[in-house]
Amino acid sequence: MSGSPLFTGINVIELDEVDSTNTYMKQLLEKERPLEGTVVTARNQTGGRGQQGNTWFAEPGKNLICSFIFYPVFLAADKNFYLNMAVSLAVREACESALEDEVKIKWPNDIYYRNQKIAGILIENSISGATVITSVVGIGLNVNQAQFSDDLPNASSLSIIAERVFDLNIILADLGKYLEKYYLQLRQSHFHFLQRAYTESLYRYNHTGYFKKGETLFKGEIVGVARDGKLIIQSGNKELRFAMQEVEYII
C-alpha cells in the first residue's frame, strides 16, 4: 500500500512506561478530545490487558504496544463488530506486508502466522444510545522479541518468523496506513466487503479442526461469522454459533 494516512497515526504520544496504553488513552479522553487517529505508544507496559481480562506480556522496547483513538459516531452500536473486523483486517495486512507471507485472523481478533500468535487486539467502545461515540483500539504486536515464556507455547514474533530485526517506527507507520484504509471502508458502510474479507481471512476458515466447548471436544469447520460477531461452526449436520469465550480452538 502506497501513500500516507490522512489522520491515523499522525499525532503520536510516546511514553517510556505505562500500565496500559488503553487505560492512558481513556484517561486522556476524560480531560480532552485528542485528534481522531491519535496513537499512544509505550516502550514498556506494566499492566497490559487482552480480551476478557487476560494479561498481555511484552518484552520492553522490543514490540509495538499502542492504542489509537477513533470517533465512529456514524456506526450504530449493533454494528460494532464491523469495527473489530476492520481493525483485525488492518493488523493482519500490516503483518502480512512485513512478513511477505500469509497471515490469518483467529476469531475474534488474534493475529496468527500459521499456528503461532503474533498480535492481539483489545477494542473498548463508549456507546451512547444506539451509537458508538469513541473507540480505543489497543494493539499488541510482537515485533522483535526473540523468546517467550513457556506459558505462551504458541507465541511468536515478526523477527523470529522473518529472521531479521524490524524498525518499530516503520511498523507503526504501516499500521496507521492500514487502519485508516479499513476504517474508511467502515465509514462508507462497506459492511459486505468487510464481512467477506474478514471471513476469508479467518484462521481455519473452511478447514476441519477440533474445538472445545466446556469439557466437550468436537470436530467442525468454521463457515462464517454472524453480524453480531458470533463464530459459525458446521459440525456434522449442525450449525453451531458461539460468542466470545464460549469455544476454544485445539491447536
In CATH, the number for domain 208-249 is 2.30.30
Q: Give residue 59's pLDDT.
A: 85
pLDDT digits (tens, 9 = 90+) for 102-159: 999 999 999 999 999 999 999 999 999 999 999 999 999 999 999 998 888 799 999 9
Q: In the numeric block, which cell numbers belong to residue 66?
A: 499502542
Q: What span, in angstroms and rounded, lies between the C-alpha atoms of 175 and 191? A: 21
34-56: average pLDDT: 78
- Topology adopted by domain 12-200: BirA Bifunctional Protein; domain 2 (3.30.930)
Residue 51 has pLDDT above 50, yes or no: no
Strands 104-106 and 110-113: antiparallel
pLDDT digits (tens, 9 = 90+) for 212-234: 999 999 999 999 999 899 999 99
Describe the crossing of helices 168-187 and 81-99 by its angle, rounded to 10 degrees: 140
What are the structural domain ranges in the chain? Answer: 12-200, 208-249
Q: Give residue 52's pLDDT.
A: 47
